[in-house]
A and B are shown apart, each in its own frame.
Chain A
């Protein structure tokens, strides 16, 4: 039950290879399925004759990350039957390495690289006279990313939804091997376009841990401000889109504009609405001077006030609440079993938040309040977003008013050879996990990225069960997961 067999480290951490406990495959499996933590990452590194599997487990109670490894040859007993949150990770290992997790209940590729076309697979099908199948995507009616959704329906009721992704697979993790080079940071900023700051921060934390460079306090504060602006902008956009999906025009129109206003605040800092070019290993490239700080605070106050007006309309409209409440429920148990993260988990009453559980950077000194709601429905996911917007605004105001003095960059240093760094960041969708492994030459030998969407897509599929198929767009929007962050 304890993390005794794990190497326990803080976030972010640099670990020498020799220190990572190597267990036999069965001990490794036992350690994972009996641990009290949540699986943050599970991945493989090909070796000359066998395959090495790594697991990173997040222990919320102690604020520590546990790392263990094992070496398998061809196959190993699957974790999924006893640890459902491992199921996508094991499918991923299977598709990339060919190692078979024996006993996995739904073994097939996740992203279909090279071998087959995406979406060509055996879908789970429900048999029956009155059952019909509805296939949606991969090309959708809106300006959104490609993904295929296969519904098994009985009339208007959904019995099962299978989500098939992989259309955006670009081979990012493979392209990072041999780095860091001038391309690396750009890969990070475009892993998921709406999470540029989150992923760039996670990478820079890992880079800094490996090179034993500490970003200056002022840079840490600016990073935190940018991360919270990203959260505010996306949450505001989501609330507007949720209103749009139930045809509630006032909030939909106002939030669309307000999201732009918040993005423009990021642009004021660094010239890019999505914060590209702001965060670099060693610090940030743009400082916030006194004039800019004043302008930011003014805009923040104005935008927050307008947001309050626009979003209050949602909670005051009975017709909206009738659509949001009791739609797409995920229970707390299911949430913990599937290992959901971010607002989706907090909306099920699970108070997990990397900023307070595994604080790094500025969050070591000031943790924003964790917003939770117990119901697990669309309303809960919307309301958690609204609470987080308000908390982020308070946090940003506080940080800008109390910016530490000093430089914003530290000189970068080469990466330590034969090491491993784990870095967690609470992006607006939830926990972002980056694991960097360096070879003997101090270059990246393996890089693992876990976008929060990777944990949460299964939650969306489960939330659809016993729901009306006409509510799918609304439930989907309440999760608003990333396709490219999942496909990498």
Chain B
């Protein structure tokens, strides 16, 4: 159920971010539905493949999108049930995202371009530091709630849980926000709008893709953002009434709030120097690690 909501609303979130940025810049901004239009346009276009590339390059976008969609099936949206749920599913989510990244990196290396190689090297370096932050943040929530599947652990994050484990959940929220920004190449870690290949991290790896392949990548990217936004929304909107439509609307509102926050951060902050990015990621991991220790010391909520 949650996965369907995510797939439908994912491209809209990108529109919300762009509108938030436009508001701060004093512009009208592009239509909210622009990303849907872009994807529809790209799906109708032909594809150009460089002669130096092999099947790896063609497989990259497809495998990546498939992996991201599988991962999305395990993400709950606040109190809304995930399609699949089992203890330890968050580890599978982390590694499905890892698989998606691995294929994107392989496809980038397959082009043999110096730019894409550079982007791949940066992406892998930062991913190695982001993954621990993600897992530690989720483990800290698990330690606080005593549940080890994504659905179960988020189903009990209500006002009561915040009262009992406020510090843990707050630290997990900050760590997850950092993970969301870096995984989705947002400011201050990356600049999704730049045209300067030398400064890009993620965008430079997909420069050679076109047509439906690029549509898959764009859609995969927006679903990925929606997944992390759903996790954050589950934390910051502790509405668990049991009434499906109330929970779903509250969680959706949280989803858009996360998109607005990302847009605001992007509007009032410059990008970090690339050297500083690993330091911020390590800080996020440490924060999540401290959250686990606090959760263990406090014990599971009664």
> B-contacting residues of A (Cβ < 8 Å)?
132-136, 141-142, 156, 243, 245-250, 252-254, 317, 319-320, 322-323, 327, 468-474
A247 CB contacts on chain B under 8 angstroms: 187-188, 191, 193-194, 266, 270-271
B195 CB contacts on chain A under 8 angstroms: 141-142
Q: Is B275 an interface residue (CB 8 A)?
A: yes
User: Is there an interface contact between A245 and B193, defined as CB atoms closer than 8 Å?
Assistant: no
* Chain A to chain B contacts (Cβ below 8 Å), 5 pairs: A132-B117, A135-B114, A136-B198, A247-B188, A247-B193
A135 CB contacts on chain B under 8 angstroms: 114
- B residues 81-110 near A (Cβ < 8 Å) are none
| CB closest residue in chain A, given B200 | A470
Roughly how many angstroms separate A471 CA and B272 CA in the complex, as a whole number? 11
Report if A156-B274 is in contact (Cβ < 8 Å); known contacts: A133-B114, A247-B187, A253-B27: yes
Report if A250-B270 is in contact (Cβ < 8 Å); known contacts: A135-B114, A473-B199: no
User: Is there an interface contact between B270 and A469, defined as CB atoms closer than 8 Å?
Assistant: no
* B192-207 interface bits toward A, Cβ cutoff 8 Å, 1 = contact, 0 = none: 0111111100000000
* B39-62 interface bits toward A, Cβ cutoff 8 Å, 1 = contact, 0 = none: 000000000000000000000000
Roughly how many angstroms separate A141 CA and B196 CA in the complex, as a whole number? 7
User: Is there an interface contact between A246 and B270, defined as CB atoms closer than 8 Å?
Assistant: yes
| CB closest residue in chain B, given A253 | B25
Q: Is B24 an interface residue (CB 8 A)?
A: yes
A248 CB contacts on chain B under 8 angstroms: 269-271
User: Is there an interface contact between A250 and B267, defined as CB atoms closer than 8 Å?
Assistant: yes
B302 CB contacts on chain A under 8 angstroms: none
* B13-34 interface bits toward A, Cβ cutoff 8 Å, 1 = contact, 0 = none: 0000000010011110000000
| CB closest residue in chain B, given A324 | B270
| CB closest residue in chain A, given B197 | A141
User: Is there an interface contact between A249 and B267, defined as CB atoms closer than 8 Å?
Assistant: yes
User: Is there an interface contact between B196 and A323, defined as CB atoms closer than 8 Å?
Assistant: no
Roughly how many angstroms separate A323 CA and B270 CA in the complex, as a whole number? 8
Instruction: Identify the 6 closest CB pairs spanning chains A and B, nearest first.
Output: A253-B25, A246-B270, A248-B270, A473-B196, A247-B191, A319-B270
User: Is there an interface contact between B270 and A132, defined as CB atoms closer than 8 Å?
Assistant: no
Roughly how many angstroms separate A247 CA and B25 CA in the complex, as a whole number? 12
B256 CB contacts on chain A under 8 angstroms: none
**Among the interface residues B21, B24, B188, B195, which one has the most CB atoms of the partner chain A within 10 A?**
B195
User: Is there an interface contact between A470 and B199, defined as CB atoms closer than 8 Å?
Assistant: yes
Q: Is B115 an interface residue (CB 8 A)?
A: yes
Additional A-B contacts beyond A142-B195, A245-B194, A472-B198 (14; CB < 8 A): A132-B114, A133-B114, A134-B115, A141-B195, A156-B274, A247-B193, A248-B270, A250-B24, A250-B268, A319-B188, A320-B270, A469-B118, A471-B199, A471-B273
User: Is there an interface contact between B270 and A470, defined as CB atoms closer than 8 Å?
Assistant: no
Distance in Å: Cβ of B69 to nearest Cβ of chain A = 30
* B258-280 interface bits toward A, Cβ cutoff 8 Å, 1 = contact, 0 = none: 00000000111111111110000
Distance in Å: Cβ of B109 to nearest Cβ of chain A = 13
Roughly how many angstroms separate A319 CA and B25 CA in the complex, as a whole number? 18
Report if A468-B273 is in contact (Cβ < 8 Å); known contacts: A141-B197, A319-B188, A473-B196: yes
B270 in complex: contacting residue of A141, A142, A156, A317, CB < 8 Å: A317
B198 in complex: contacting residue of A132, A252, A470, CB < 8 Å: A470
B272 in complex: contacting residue of A141, A245, A319, CB < 8 Å: A319
User: Is there an interface contact between A322 and B25, defined as CB atoms closer than 8 Å?
Assistant: no
Distance in Å: Cβ of B204 to nearest Cβ of chain A = 10
Report if A473-B198 is in contact (Cβ < 8 Å); known contacts: A247-B193, A254-B26, A317-B269: yes
| CB closest residue in chain A, given B25 | A253
Distance in Å: Cβ of A302 to nearest Cβ of chain B = 16
User: Is there an interface contact between A253 and B198, defined as CB atoms closer than 8 Å?
Assistant: no
Roughly how many angstroms separate A471 CA and B115 CA in the complex, as a whole number? 14
User: Is there an interface contact between B275 and A249, defined as CB atoms closer than 8 Å?
Assistant: no
B273 in complex: contacting residue of A134, A250, A317, A322, CB < 8 Å: A322
**Among the interface residues A141, A243, A327, A470, which one has the most CB atoms of the partner chain B within 10 A?**
A470
Distance in Å: Cβ of A241 to nearest Cβ of chain B = 11
A319 CB contacts on chain B under 8 angstroms: 188, 269-272
B274 in complex: contacting residue of A245, A322, A468, A473, CB < 8 Å: A468
User: Is there an interface contact between B25 and A323, defined as CB atoms closer than 8 Å?
Assistant: no
